[in-house]
């Protein structure tokens, strides 16, 4: 019996997170057993060049030797005590210093970070409603799992069964990059809106970049109405630049959510922000939030080491961005050469290749025109060439410092070859 068949008997869909099932590329997923640098090996011994990098955390590459040596020591020192440790303080100091926030609380996933930040925003403002944007993913907590028929819909049907309509009643969905939409909702419900949450560079509908004007006006209008602005930087944090991407826009949100990279591959999330808001958290304030494994020493030490490495070697960001630029340029050239319709969206080192006819891609409305079947064929073609990209159109390409210019050139050669066969 194949591993996938065994898995399906005992794990729903055979996987512990849906995208891993390779459903949207109509394939059975390979099962992986080890990784080194940028090479993933599956259980049949087949090797793949990894462009998923665990959806971001492996920004330094897999199995980085000096980090692994230290990790062995950390294991021996103790995995978790459920009690205060010095490394938590050190991590919080490092974190607040590098993200220009006053206080931070560690959690175990991005989902927990956004869920907790929203509860905190509601507790702090004493308001109920939240605004999110269509196409932005913030993990799978109830109030954030909202589908929307259109960007101007006020109340929405939940994306998932099991989410009460009463919960969703307080979630307003707006169109990304559409400030008028936000203003209209604030006009209507402003005095009961606790927060606006968004991915400052969207990565979960493929890469979609907000305009400067949108971001600046969003900050302004939220401020004017006492609405907290929350940046979900679970992808962008420490990915495109060291720290928060907010400095690129010259605005400061009230709360930040982090995840992925900051755990160095261990399950970690964090939310951070201004002191007067963060002090509403239990045990100081009345907003309850807790976690048995939150801030456990193993994850904190590994996360700290990754962050310190990134801080010391900020040329890594230049390397990532240069590779992304080469990919962008090459993809565009190859699309032109082959006459296949498509578009590349890029922000610094984050990029996506979309198939389909587009004028521009600046919201979920635009993204919906993507040809996902074409992507599925392309994905399989690239896999045959030995390159593992995300098994879904609406994801970003995640590069690591272990990727090289040579491998990027090879990707572009294969890209042309595969596009020719589509
Ligand atoms: C991945 C992701 C999350 C959820 O993080 P998990 O660790 O998977 O719970 C939240 N927000 C964004 C922007 C993400 O990309």
To test ligand 1's pocket by mutation, which of 109, 139, 390 has the most ligand atoms within 8 angstroms of CB?
A: 139
Tokens of 417: 């070859």
| Ligand 1, atom 10: closest residue by C-alpha | 138
Model pLDDT for residues 39-61, shown as the tens digit of each residue: 999 999 999 999 999 999 999 99
- The CA 52 to ligand 1 mean position distance, Å, reads 14
Model pLDDT for residues 259-298, shown as the tens digit of each residue: 999 999 999 999 999 999 999 999 999 999 999 999 999 9
Instruction: Give me the pLDDT at residue 228, please.
Output: 98
Q: Is it the case that residue 155 has pLDDT exceeding 80?
A: no
Model pLDDT for residues 80-109, shown as the tens digit of each residue: 999 999 999 999 999 999 999 999 999 999
- The CA 421 to ligand 1 mean position distance, Å, reads 34
Instruction: Give me the pLDDT at residue 149, please.
Output: 39
Instruction: Give me the pLDDT at residue 156, please.
Output: 55
Q: Is it the case that residue 396 has pLDDT exceeding 50?
A: yes
Q: Is it the case that residue 154 has pLDDT exceeding 70?
A: no
For ligand 1, whether the C-beta of 116 sits within 6 Å is: no
Three-point CA angle 78, 99, 139, nearest 5°: 70
Instruction: Give me the pLDDT at residue 145, please.
Output: 87
Q: Is it the case that residue 148 has pLDDT exceeding 50?
A: no
* Placement of tokens 């925003």 in the chain: 121
| Burial of 332: CB neighbours in 10 Å, binned 0-12, 13-18, 19+ | middle
To test ligand 1's pocket by mutation, which of 204, 253, 398 has the most ligand atoms within 8 angstroms of CB?
A: 204
Instruction: Give me the pLDDT at residue 259, please.
Output: 98
Model pLDDT for residues 156-191, shown as the tens digit of each residue: 567 788 888 888 899 999 999 999 999 999 999 989
For ligand 1, whether the C-beta of 232 sits within 6 Å is: yes
Q: Residues with Cβ < 8 Å from 335, sequence gap 6 or more?
A: 341, 342, 419
| Mean pLDDT (whole number) for 145-153 | 51
Mean pLDDT of the chain: 95
Q: Is the pTM here over 0.75, yes or no?
A: yes
Torsion of Cα atoms, 58 then 370 then 366 then 195, to 10°: -40
Instruction: Give me the pLDDT at residue 157, please.
Output: 66
For ligand 1, whether the C-beta of 259 sits within 6 Å is: yes
The dihedral through the CA atoms of 182, 257, 140, 377 has a sign that is positive
Model pLDDT for residues 328-352, shown as the tens digit of each residue: 999 999 999 999 999 999 999 999 9
| Mean pLDDT (whole number) for 236-242 | 97
Instruction: Give me the pLDDT at residue 327, please.
Output: 98
For ligand 1, whether the C-beta of 110 sits within 6 Å is: yes
Q: Which residues pair with 197 in a beta bridge?
A: 230
Q: Is 378 a catalytic residue?
A: no
State in Å, rounded, how far the first CA of the chain is from the last one: 33
For ligand 1, whether the C-beta of 137 sits within 6 Å is: yes
Q: From CA 260, how far away is CA 405, in angstroms rounded?
A: 24
Q: Is 232 a catalytic residue?
A: yes
Counting residues of the chain whose pLDDT is more than 90, the rounded percentage is 94
Active-site residue (options: 48, 74, 137, 378):
137
Q: From CA 228, how far away is CA 237, in angstroms rounded?
A: 19
For ligand 1, whether the C-beta of 204 sits within 6 Å is: yes
Among 118, 116, 120, residue whose Cα is nearest residue 106? 116
- The CA 391 to ligand 1 mean position distance, Å, reads 17
Residue 16 near residue 22 (C-beta atoms within 8 A): no
Q: Name the H helices within 285-404.
A: 297-312, 315-338, 364-367, 372-384
- The CA 133 to ligand 1 mean position distance, Å, reads 15
């Amino acid at each position: 019996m194949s591993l996938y068949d065994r898995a399906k008997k005992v794990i729903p869909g055979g996987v512990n997170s849906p995208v891993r099932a390779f459903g949207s590329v109509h394939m059975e997923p390979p099962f992986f057993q080890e990784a080194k640098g940028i090479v993933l090996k599956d259980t049949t011994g087949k090797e793949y060049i990894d462009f998923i990098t665990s959806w971001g955390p492996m920004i330094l590459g897999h199995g980085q030797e000096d980090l692994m040596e230290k990790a062995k020591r950390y294991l021996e020192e103790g995995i978790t005590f459920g009690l205060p440790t010095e490394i938590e303080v050190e991590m919080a100091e490092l974190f607040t210093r590098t993200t220009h926030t006053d206080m931070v609380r560690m959690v175990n996933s991005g989902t927990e970070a956004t869920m907790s930040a929203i509860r905190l925003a509601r507790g702090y403002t004493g308001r109920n409603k939240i605004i999110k944007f269509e196409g932005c993913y913030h993990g799978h907590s109830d109030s954030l799992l909202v589908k929307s028929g259109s960007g101007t819909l006020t109340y929405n049907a939940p994306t998932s069964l099991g989410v009460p309509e009463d919960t969703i009643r307080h979630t307003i969905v707006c169109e990304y990059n559409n400030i008028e939409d936000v203003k209209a909702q604030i006009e209507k419900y402003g005095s009961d809106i606790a927060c606006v949450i968004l991915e400052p560079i969207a990565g979960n509908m493929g890469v979609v970049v907000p305009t400067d004007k949108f971001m600046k006006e969003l900050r302004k209008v939220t401020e004017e109405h006492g609405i907290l602005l929350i940046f979900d930087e679970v992808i962008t944090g420490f990915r495109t630049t060291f720290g928060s991407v907010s400095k690129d826009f010259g605005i400061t949100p009230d709360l930040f959510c982090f995840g992925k990279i900051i755990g160095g591959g261990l399950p970690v999330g964090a939310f951070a922000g201004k002191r007067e808001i963060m002090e509403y958290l239990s045990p100081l304030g009345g907003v309850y939030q807790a976690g048995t494994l939150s801030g456990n020493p193993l994850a904190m030490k590994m996360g700290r080491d990754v962050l310190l490495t990134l801080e010391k070697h900020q040329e890594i960001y230049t390397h990532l961005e240069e590779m992304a630029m080469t990919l962008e340029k090459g993809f565009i050239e190859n699309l032109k050469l082959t006459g296949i319709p498509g578009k590349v969206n890029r922000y610094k080192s984050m990029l996506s290749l979309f198939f389909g006819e587009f004028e521009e891609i600046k919201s979920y409305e635009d993204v919906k025109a993507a040809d996902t079947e074409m992507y599925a064929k392309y994905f399989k073609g690239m896999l045959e060439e030995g390159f593992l990209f995300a098994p879904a159109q609406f994801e970003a390409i995640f590069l690591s410092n272990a990727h090289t210019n040579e491998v990027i050139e090879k990707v572009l050669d294969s890209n042309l070859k595969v596009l020719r066969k589509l």
